[in-house]
Chains A and B, each alone.
Chain A
Amino acid sequence: MNYIEHIGKYFMMLAQVFKKPQKGRVFYEALMKEIEELGLKSLGIVMFISFFIGGVIALQTALNLESPFIPDSLIGFAAKRSIILEFAPTFCSIILAGKVGSYITSSIGAMRVTEQIDALEVMGINSLNYLVLPKVIATVFFYPFLIILAMILGIFGGWVAGVLSGLFAGVDYIDGIQTTFNPFLITYAMIKTLVFAFLIATVPSYHGYYVKGGSIAVGKASTQAVVWTIILIVIANYVLTQMLLT
């Protein structure tokens, strides 16, 4: 199957996904379960990575600003910008593509190879709508909160790193954070997050749903799903930055 066929099949899948759920109560239960699986269970890794990467960004910025004419507050300013614009939405989404993407593909793929999806279809259930829509809604609504948390923890991690290393003063760092705050940068980051969240839910679902074969095929599909999700996130990141910031 060539790329054009895959793209066509992906959009045909989306047409089935975005239909009215057959039973509101069942959909609500599935949605809550997915928020827990895809959102709440990702909190730990996002918090951990955000804090330490924020620290690294602040330390590297400080180590590269050697001129006495550059104020230390620039470290906080640069760290804040890097974290809000790029690190939190893009880096965290790539990590989530690995963690959540492989989970989605393997869970749906296992259902395919063990005929659980056939069982849904025989009952007259739109299996794509039942399996994928709650995942899309859960990621699109929950990931903005996750990314905002990543921003806050990343900036906090930078402050902790500065204070502990003694490379810059905490006061200067806070001063830098407060310098020229542009709210559109948050909007830009949130738009990116929504697009990435959509990709993280749908691309692995596509790979899982159409898997053919047995457990090895599910494993391969998981790897492919993560790779393609990351590629699409990187492309979407470039396109959105071009569209929104230039």
Chain B
Amino acid sequence: MIEVKELHKGFGDVKVLKGISTTFQPGKTSLIIGQSGSGKTVFLKSLIGLHIPEAGTISFNGKANTEFTNLEKRQWRQEIGMVFQGSALFDSQTVEENVMFPLKMFTNQSQSEMLDRVNFVLKRVNLENSNKKFPAELSGGMQKRVAIARAIVMNPKYLFCDEPNSGLDPQTAIVIDNLIQEITDEYNITTVINTHDMNSVMEIGEKILFLKDGRKAWEGSSGEIFKTDNEAVVSFVYSSNLFKKVREAYLNEKK
């Protein structure tokens, strides 16, 4: 379980996170939503240790990440998989080399063992026959799949995704959502996703955290988000006519 208490983070005079507290349950998919500039990415990067909070604690299974010994920190890093917004694949390496990279760095497996594992995870993300291609030769959706494969190759306990659907067509976005959900269930991973995609909110959000101006404005499940009358959530999530109608239909059905 990931537990966040009173998290504060700023850059110079700009306060980005203003006392966020929440928990992310193991084996569940949690979504962080909010407008651009609401602090989602800073929050996610604070969770994975790329930003050092000014105040507050982030605990993994009861232990604050600031209290980790060097050895614990190294082990914790290997338990984390991260899918970046732009995929962040290494340009100079092939798909196979990208996915194999964490194995090379942190295991003593032989080349054939590593290759077996790489082929297994690439098959899992439905990306076979692309081993020797470079990231520049892949479509956006394929790059995301390689990024997911690289993130899960070390069997992580935690998977963090920063807008995994950005720049993808709706069909591919659903494929990526489903893939993340399946992997979360299959390997019992604690998954936290930053997203703007309302389809994701409806489809895979077992828990949803809504941020506004660096604060937690609402928290609940995808079922509850239909019923909430929190103005900030309603105006953000149901800003499109389509989603307004979906919500009305849902609420009418419930009546």
Chain A positions near chain B (C-beta within 8 angstroms): 22-23, 25-26, 110-111, 114-116, 118-119, 121-125
Contact = CB atoms under 8 A, between A and B. Distances in A.
A201 to B, nearest CB: 18
Interface residues of B, number: 22
A65 to B, nearest CB: 52
15 contacts: A22-B105, A26-B104, A111-B90, A115-B84, A115-B86, A115-B88, A116-B88, A116-B90, A122-B50, A123-B77, A123-B101, A123-B105, A124-B77, A124-B106, A125-B105
Interface in B63-95: 73-74, 77-78, 80, 82, 84-86, 88-91
Contacts of B82: 119, 122
A25 B104 contact: yes
B105 A118 contact: no
B73 A124 contact: yes
Interface of B: 45, 48-50, 73-74, 77-78, 80, 82, 84-86, 88-91, 101-102, 104-106
A132 to B, nearest CB: 15
B8 to A, nearest CB: 21
A61 B171 CA distance: 73
B104 A122 contact: no
Contacts of B88: 114-116, 118-119
A125 B80 CA distance: 13
Contacts of B74: 124
Nearest to B102: A123
B84 A23 contact: no
Contact of B91 (A25, A110, A121, A125): A110
A22 B80 CA distance: 18
Contacts of A118: 45, 50, 84, 88
Contacts of B89: 116
